[in-house]
Structures are given as structure tokens and as C-alpha cells.
Amino acid sequence: MVRWPGFEPGSPARKAGDFAGLWVSLEEQFLEWLSGQVKAGKLSEETAAEYTRALKKFFDKYSPHSVEELESALTKENYKRHLCKALRKFVQFLKKQKIIDPVFAEELKESIPIKPTKESEVRISTEELLEAWEYHKRHSDEVTRLFFKILVFSGARLRTVHKMLTQFDERRLYILPNYPNIAKYALMERHGTKASLYIYMPAELVNEIKPVKIKEATIRKRLEYGRVNASTIRKWHATFLSMQGIKDHVINYIQSRVPRAILEKHYLDLELEADEAYSRVVDELKKVLEG
């Protein structure tokens, strides 16, 4: 059996049992480090939480004591992207803490490949989007239709929209005084000059927003129709805004995907640009679902 190199014999991690032992011994320190990554703007809170869940579930199920055992476990898990990304983040932590050396860290990465996504290549047409919308109008419930409309109008991630609706705070949703045809929902509280990101939507949609109780996996499945799903709707939205003449950096802000370092430095300019740009295109977005 090939044992994990990179830490001294007799160390707590070694006694606990190789890579699985490293997790047992260093889980708390890793989670603190991960939190630091979030605060530094290198990782989103949602991604950090996803990595944490994936790793805890993995190490509850498997105890890899060698490279071969790790690869065997990953094979059983079909090399799930989020799991492999989480494991690679743990490897990065081990390297940063000098628990394993850089050479071995790179070797480990080769055993934890990230599968390319076929979905990333999918680009749906407006006709496909409309067909999906017509289906949902006839066959889906009110909650599914609400999610669909918010995704089309905002271009936000499903996870972000799900968080808004399941943890809804009406104080964060408001119609803009300078642009009364649009509304925004603040994704985080603003303290002083601290920046915030928003979910953008038409002003009239405000009356339809209400708290819901549904699992993210459930609504993700319900939204699927042919090639139309939460991810392809997001890509469609970005393409639509681009065709309306909206600049890429403004589209990124509207879709809530600006790196925190840039957001903190330029959020006032970005917010003003995004508000004006979205107010110009929102009527065109509404026309899409009106057919």
C-alpha cells in the first residue's frame, strides 16, 4: 500500500490515518482557513459551504489511506465536479500549511481531475426559452413559474434566487426612485461603504415575490425542460444583454458575479452603470416572456 508522504511519522495526522487522518486532525483548521478565503474575496460563501458539505459527506463515507484508495472512492462517486473541487481546495490548504510539499500536491491534483462540463457548451435560443415558458405556464405550479421568471429577468444563479426566496426579507427588496421601472433585492446588508450585490427584476414583479419553502435540488429539477435549465437560462440572459449593447463588466454586476476585490473598489460606479443599463433593457426582457 502506498502511504501518503508529506508529513512526519508520529504526527497527529499520521496516527489518525493518512489522508482521512489529515481530515480528522485538521478539519477545524481547514474550515477556519476556508472562512479566511471568503473574507479575502477569493471564494464565495456559497462555494465554501458547498465544499464543506461535500468533504464532510465524502469523509463520512470513505477513509482513503492511499492514493489508490482515494482514486477508488472518487471512481465510485463518478468524480463529481463539486467533490473534486472541494478535495483540491483541501490539497491547497495542506500545501499552504506545509503539511505536504508542492510536488506531492501537484501529484495529488492529477489524481483529482476536474471533469469538463458538457452543459457549459450549451446555448439555448429564445425560441427554446419561450417553449419552456409556455410549458411551465400550462403545467407547473406558481412557485416554479416564479423561479423561472426571476431567472430570466435577473440572470442570477439558481442558488442565489433560492436563497432570496427561502430566506426572504422584504426590507431588502425595493423599487429604485430614479428608475421606477426596476427593482432590486440586496443579497447582503450594506454597512457604511461596504459593497452589496443585487438580484435585478422588473418593478411589477415585486408584488409576486414571497417566501417559499422548497429544496434547491427540487426546484432545479422542476425547471428543466429540454435544454432549458437554470444554467442555460443564465447564459441566455448574458447573451441577451450583450446583444442589447450592455458591456460585459455591467452584465457581470447585474448577474451578481463580480469578484469581491473589484466590487469593494468600484461598486458605486458599477451599481450606477448597472441600474441605468438594466432600466433600458428591462422592457425588452419582459417582451420575451410575453411572446
Mean pLDDT estimate for the chain: 86
Q: How much is the pLDDT for 117?
A: 65
Q: How much is the pLDDT for 190?
A: 46
Torsion-angle region of 256 (φ positive above 0: left; ψ -120 to 50: alpha; else: beta): left
Question: With contact defined as beta carbons under 8 Å apart, do 51 and 89 qualify?
Answer: yes
What Å distances lie between residue 236 and 116, 151, 163, CA to CA?
A: 20, 10, 22
* Confidence band, pLDDT 50/70/90 cuts, at residue 207: very high
* Confidence band, pLDDT 50/70/90 cuts, at residue 36: very high
Question: With contact defined as beta carbons under 8 Å apart, do 197 and 263 qualify?
Answer: yes
* Confidence band, pLDDT 50/70/90 cuts, at residue 176: very high
Q: How much is the pLDDT for 102?
A: 84
Indicate the residue type of 93. Answer: F
- Cα of 279 vs its chain's centroid, Å: 25
Q: How much is the pLDDT for 18?
A: 73
Higher-confidence residue of 117 and 168: namely 168
Q: Which residues are within 8 A (CB) of 208 and not within 5 positions of it... i.e. 6 or more apart?
A: 146, 149
Mean local confidence (pLDDT), 275-284 = 97
Q: How much is the pLDDT for 15?
A: 33
Q: How far apart are CA 155 and CA 261, in angstroms?
A: 22
| 3-state SS, residue 244 | coil
Burial of 200 (0-12, 13-18, 19+ CB in 10 A): buried
Identify the structural domains of the chain with CATH numbers, from first to last: 12-111 (no CATH), 119-290 (1.10.443.10)
